[in-house]
A and B are shown apart, each in its own frame.
Chain A
Amino acid sequence: MLAKPLRPMALQARRLYVELMFQVMGRALQGISEVDQVARDEARELPEGFLFEMMVRPRGPSLVVEHTGEGRFHYHGDNPPRPVDLSIQFKHIAHAFLVVSFQEKTSVAFAHDRMLVDGDIGYALRMTRILNRLEAFILPKLVASRAVKEYPANLKLPQKVLSAARIYLKVATQFFDTARAS
């Protein structure tokens, strides 16, 4: 049988969903660095001005955050102000979709060779721990335990961040449903 015709709508929706989730994550990274002590203690060890990027190869969606000191992050959208220090790269948009739609845990995606680390592996681990923390924060517990290796026991949820992030998430979920339906 010939290959099925491409499903431009579905593929488009998937790309939009990944783009949107990257925005959610970028904002939420900045958000939790303002309110969560655990995340801030992790981030504190990063050099000041440290630029972290998560992107989809070859020129797909990306998110960039900067460590501005004291464990705080600033979200730069998809525009790094200078060459980044650490880049976590998905090999394909399909792999990024698996992760940001919580079908594959970040750590499993690493184990499955879905992504590459360009930069210091110690910093990459630190950022992965912060991202795990973030996922546990913005997701309902049931979904989060699918996304991270272990759901943290000491999670105190500041309602403000939560509700903000959940709104993004809701929008995101709609995209997800559209993508799945088509």
Chain B
Amino acid sequence: MSQRYYEFFCPVKVIAGKAALEHIPYELSGLGAGRPLLITDKGVRAAGLLEPVLEACEEGGQEIVTIYDDVPPDSSTHVVKDIAGIYRSEQCDSIIAVGGGSAIDTAKAVNILVSEGGDDLSAYAGAGVLTNPLKPFFVVPTTAGTGSEVTSVAVIADTEKSVKLPFTSSFLLPDAAIIDPRMTLTLPPHITAATGMDALTHATEAFTCMAKNPLSDAYATAAVKKISNNLLKVMDNPKNADSRLELAEASTMAGIAFSNSMVGLVHALGHATGAICHLPHGLCMSLYLPYVLEYNLETIREPLGELLLYMAGPDVYATTPANRRAEECISAIRKLRDALYQHCKLPRTLQETGNVEQDQLDRIARVALDDGSIMFNPREVTLDDALAVLKRAWG
């Protein structure tokens, strides 16, 4: 009997492409909502990204009741409580998040409080605590990387107890993700590069780690193809709206893939490095991806070789002998990193970041071993293994 078993779930309506924002009023009315609270951050507002959203709503006869634009990069229970208070006093009935990972996670947590009641977010921490659908919730991503618009998790810091509270429930998934090329058109080059590498890592880990399955595979390969075809085009010509849209779609597709098949050691090391050295998540992904693939190589030779088709195209795939395809895929990823380094100095090694000390590697390795992502890495990672990967990534 086959040993195969998998689960796949993504109930998020994807609304993508030209004039996608203009669909928000109709979609809200379809859920019986008319008083949305908009949650975003100062960066989004300063980049002028709120205007197209507000215009689209206003022109469509949809009032935005209030805007909260002060979500910090590392959101906290305190911020969530404040926003929930605003939602209640303004009698809102729905939430629109506009931004990257932090704004989206914050909005998910606000939705828990305003739907379930109370002010104590920690009561809902953990997996499977929520048992009821939440308020209508839309997400407009402004980076093409995190995939948070299609994941059922949120992480919020409890500043008083100085712990990070994880929330996992399919009820956290938004009702719709609105992917509009206008929202990522002005993303600066180094953020475009780092978030693109985050999406590439989601797809690659989803395709090579233990919970891979036929449905997530389809999303993962399609995402890799879109990223390898468009990331450098966007770096060359940031105003290329078609390629921007492709990257944004790829990010969502990679998000669907990894939220169903999970990620592995790249993310475990990346989360640890982010926490200890305060490097951006996408950069950490780019730093570790090739070294972790090399470490996992013998257990993932087959899927990684297959990925070469999407990473480098049919010509390279056909002319590479089958037993060299996995190595060739890693070298295609390295070439992409070299090109990004030429474009915007996106570091390729820990040394090149200038923000990591060699004596921090041991701590990074120890923290990574306790990170949930390591569970689904195809190889059982020991402390020595993690250290060896870090030393290779040092440069």
Is B210's beta carbon under 8 Å from chain A? yes
Which one, B6, B126, B372, B379, contacts A149 given CB within 8 A? B379
Which one, B211, B369, B378, contacts A112 given CB within 8 A? B211
Given A111-B262, A117-B127, A125-B369, A132:B210 Cβ within 8 A: no
Is B27's beta carbon under 8 Å from chain A? no
Contact with A along B360-389 (1 / 0, CB 8 A): 000000000111101110111000000000
Is B359's beta carbon under 8 Å from chain A? no
B380 to A110, Cβ gap below 8 A?
Answer: no
Q: Which of B153-188 contact A (CB under 8 A)?
A: 166
User: Which residues in A have their C-beta under 8 angstroms from that of B369?
Assistant: 125
A112 to B166, Cβ gap below 8 A?
Answer: no
Given A112-B211, A121-B166, A125-B369, A107:B375 Cβ within 8 A: yes
Shortest distance between the CB of B263 and any CB in chain A (Å)? 12
Given A108-B210, A111-B210, A116:B128 Cβ within 8 A: yes
Is A177's beta carbon under 8 Å from chain B? no
Given A107-B375, A148-B380, A113:B7 Cβ within 8 A: yes
The A-B contact count (CB < 8 A) is 51
Given A118-B126, A122-B370, A111:B376 Cβ within 8 A: yes
B375 to A150, Cβ gap below 8 A?
Answer: no
Q: Which of B191-239 contact A (CB under 8 A)?
A: 209-211
Shortest distance between the CB of B307 and any CB in chain A (Å)? 19
Is B2's beta carbon under 8 Å from chain A? no
User: Which residues in B have their C-beta under 8 angstroms from that of A122?
Assistant: 370-372
- Can you list the 10 inter-chain pairs with the closest CB atoms, starting with the nearest? A122-B370, A149-B380, A111-B211, A111-B210, A150-B380, A121-B372, A112-B5, A113-B7, A111-B376, A110-B375
**Could you pull out 28 A-B pairs where Cβ atoms are within 8 angstroms?**
A104-B3, A107-B210, A107-B375, A107-B376, A108-B3, A108-B210, A110-B375, A110-B376, A111-B209, A111-B210, A111-B375, A111-B376, A112-B5, A112-B211, A113-B5, A114-B5, A116-B127, A116-B128, A117-B127, A118-B126, A121-B370, A121-B371, A121-B372, A122-B370, A125-B372, A125-B375, A126-B370, A149-B380
Given contacts A113-B5, A117-B127, A122-B370, 12 further A-B contacts (CB under 8 A): A104-B3, A107-B210, A111-B209, A111-B375, A111-B376, A112-B6, A116-B127, A118-B127, A119-B126, A122-B371, A126-B370, A128-B375
| Interface of A toward B, CB cutoff 8 Å | 103-104, 107-108, 110-114, 116-119, 121-122, 125-126, 128, 132, 148-150
| Interface of B toward A, CB cutoff 8 Å | 3, 5-7, 126-128, 166, 209-211, 262, 369-372, 374-376, 378-380
